[in-house]
Amino acid sequence: MASPAGAVRVAILGCGSMGTSLLQGFLRKRTTPVSLSLQLAACTRTQQSFDRLRATLGNDSKAIDLGFGNHAKDMAESADVIVLGCRKEDLSAALNTVQPGRSYANKTIVSLMAGFSSAELQQALTESGAPAETAIVRVIPSFAARTCTSVSLLASPAAVSQRRIDIVTQIFEQVGSVLQVDEDLLTKGVAIGSACHALAVTAVDSMTDAGVCEGIPRSTAAALAAQFLRSAAGLMADGMSPEELKSALSTPKGITLNAVAELDRGGTRRAVIDAGRGAVKYAESM
């Protein structure tokens, strides 16, 4: 496997929404200094998907080795890190195309598949001809990878070396931040993150409508809602607790605290908790 100081060959097999977002983020990051140089390859299942991906990436697609169908086998064989971006329902077909062999002992397999454990993936790989102890790392990035603001959750079995984990971490740090969690918490973490996305979409959409109702142009109201949500989230991401932020904004007869009171009166807090817990239950049932 290539060293962290050199170019790491990364093959993304399956470029749906998430795989495409990752490629967009990696390409965007090319314009800034990074600690790890990547040599990118990407393969789709069909030519139709290949054409869609090439059109989406535009001229930037020239910086990636793109292919479809059986090209996946050659890309996987030459890669240091193989990113499985397919759905778990399509994994069997993907492995039939790739035909993993004994050489996979020297590769790191990164799975983007939610709800599919590393043990389940190891079994599928072994049945397809890969070594019984393939290095598997699970990573669940977010759609914001395309703008390099993803929060990627990373989990791996204890047998995977720290060196491999460090390389995968550096790869995904190019498209945002990385949080390492125990694998048994991965699904719960993804669910809470997804619920936060739902909350953000609902909050911005609702506040945009409120602004329009009060005479603010829709584009201005939407920009205000999104930017203020980002600024509040940024402060908390930097270490300020929700209680500290609320206290800092709570001037006597202040607008923010009155808005909090209205949200509490409408049962928003309970609805948010229910949405988060419901997302976890739904994710665990998939």
Give the residue numbers of the binding site for NADP(+). 13-18
Residue set of the binding site: 13-18
Question: How far is CA 42 from each of CA 28, 68, 75, 85, rounded to the nearest angstrom?
Answer: 16, 8, 8, 10
Closest CA relative to residue 56, chosen from 13, 19, 12: 19
Q: How far is residue 22's CA from residue 145's CA, in Å, rounded to a whole number?
A: 5
Q: Residue 40: what residue type?
A: L
Q: How far is residue 33's CA from residue 283's CA, in Å, rounded to a whole number?
A: 37
Question: Which ranges of 30-82 does DSSP label H, i.e. alpha helix?
Answer: 47-57, 71-78
Contact status, residue 5 vs residue 170, Cβ threshold 8 Å: no
Q: How far is residue 165's CA from residue 225's CA, in Å, rounded to a whole number?
A: 37
Rg (CA), the chain: 21
Assign 88 to helix, strand or coil.
helix
Work out the burial of residue 181: count CB atoms within 10 Å of its CB; fewer than 13 is exposed, 13-18 middle, 19 or more buried.
Answer: middle
Assign 41 to helix, strand or coil.
strand
As a dihedral over the C-alpha atoms of residue 87, residue 92, residue 98, residue 101, rounded to 10 degrees, the angle is 120
Q: How far is residue 254's CA from residue 257's CA, in Å, rounded to a whole number?
A: 6
Residue 9 CB neighbour total at 10 angstroms: 19
- Per the structure block, which two tokens stand in for 237? 């991401």
